[in-house]
Amino acid sequence: MSRPQRRHLISIDDLGFEEMHRIVQRGADFAAGRCEDARPLHDAVVGVLFRKTSTRTRTAFSAGTLRLGGRLITYGPADLQENTGETVEDTAAVLSRMLDVLVARTAGSEAELRAFAAQQRMAVVNAMSAAEHPTQALTDLTTLLGRFGRIEGLRVLYVGEGNNTASALTLALSRYRGTELHLRTPGGYGVEQHYLDRAAEHAAGSGALVEQRHDMVDLPEADVVYTTRWQTTGTTKPDPDWRIAFEPFRVDKAVMDAAPGALFMHDLPAHRGDEVTAEVLDGPASIAFAQAENKYHSARAVLEWCVGADPAGAGRE
């Protein structure tokens, strides 16, 4: 097949607002079953490289590739010659001559993914780096759009570690008009300041609010309460007593009662009794597993965008 210039998704900030909006809307369209005949990856080959464990993201992009008519090559953490000293640049130069898309979870720095993306023959998707998880944020927006019919004006209370999921959500949600993102994170484990600064720039134009505090006092009204596991995938905490700082940030019935009518979201995997009680995760307000399914629908939208297949009407209001 012809090889047009590809699009990379390393950070949410790689997307213009309209591009992000189109991907989110297209993910919602896939979730609603409105475009099951789409085959934009016909004859395309997608490589899936995961150095860290994954259930949802790896399965979503693998199944998404096959459903969109593509073909799949999977790589484990010890499969590429980087393990024998080959540079990322040389690896990318070779893979880009054979693949149309590379979906990579390195759990390392964004710089490594940028090195993979320093060519225009093969699209590169960040399936989670140490600092940011952009495909999770797109999944979250797709979930919000499907549940509420809008994203503008929604209020989200995020409780827990300011990890790569929180960083990506901060960048994404702050672009929508009138949204509120209240981050309640343990001291020393918050969203990094440069993400907050970038979000503030978005919010200045959208009228959004992004606020981070390190306590659980005076919780705001919210449409959604969101948490993630305390021990982020692929990481460890240097402080052996870190759980003491995290204990007040468990989402339990009291937290949900402070936001009457709110839905509960979790990017999974979950550890019942740590970041969330079983009563909440398995309760009627939880949409965590529908959110997980949306990872698959959103992955299809991302893959479609990466190969330049923008269907007519995908960006409709």
Q: Where are the domains of the chain?
A: 12-132+296-306, 136-292
Per DSSP (E only), the strands in the chain are: 45-50, 71-75, 101-105, 123-126, 155-159, 180-184, 209-213, 224-227, 263-266
Asked if the model's pLDDT at residue 108 lies above 80, the reply is no
DSSP strand pairing (101-105 vs 263-266) = unpaired
Any idea what the Cα angle at residue 195 is, between residues 194 and 199, rounded to 5°?
A: 115
pLDDT digits (tens, 9 = 90+) for 11-70: 999 999 999 999 999 999 999 999 989 899 998 999 999 999 999 999 999 999 999 999
Please give the full DSSP string across 139-200, using - where no structure is assigned: HHHHHHHHHHS--TT-EEEEES---HHHHHHHHHHTTSTT-EEEEE--TT-S--HHHHHHHH
- The residues, ordered by sequence, that sit 6+ positions from 249 with a Cβ below 8 Å of its Cβ are 159, 160, 184, 185, 186, 216, 227, 275
Q: Which CATH superfamily is domain 12-132+296-306 in?
A: Aspartate/ornithine carbamoyltransferase (3.40.50.1370)
The SS3 of residue 276 is strand
Residue type, 303: L
The CATH architecture of the domain made up of 136-292 is 3-Layer(aba) Sandwich (3.40)
Top-confidence residue, 72 or 2: 72
CA geometry: angle at 229 spanning 180 and 278, to 5°? 95
Q: Is the pLDDT of residue 228 over 60?
A: yes
Residue 302 is inside which H or E element, if any?
A: helix 288-306
The helix/strand count (H/E) of the chain reads as 11, 9
**Which residues are CB-contacts of 159 (< 8 A; sequence separation ≥ 6)?**
184, 185, 216, 225, 226, 227, 249, 251, 255, 275
What tens digit of pLDDT does each residue of 235-294 get?
788 899 999 999 999 999 999 999 999 999 999 999 999 999 999 999 999 999 999 999
Q: Which amino acid is at 4?
A: P
Gap between the Cα atoms of 168 and 185, Å rounded = 15
Closest CA to 166 of 102, 230, 236: 230
CB 261 within 8 A of CB 300: no
State residue 315's pLDDT score.
39
| 215 phi and psi angles, rounded to 5 deg | -150, 175
- The answer to whether the CB of 100 falls within 8 A of the CB of 43 is no
Q: What pTM does this model have? A: 0.94
Spatial contact of 39 and 64, defined as CB atoms under 8 Å apart: no
User: What is the mean predicted confidence (pLDDT) over 110-124?
Assistant: 94
Confidence of residue 316 (pLDDT cuts 50, 70, 90): very low
Pairwise CA distance, residues 113 & 270, whole Å: 27
Q: Is the pLDDT confidence value at 314 over 50? A: no
Average pLDDT for the chain: 94
Q: What is the pLDDT of residue 12?
A: 98
Alpha carbon distance 274, 83 (integer Å): 35
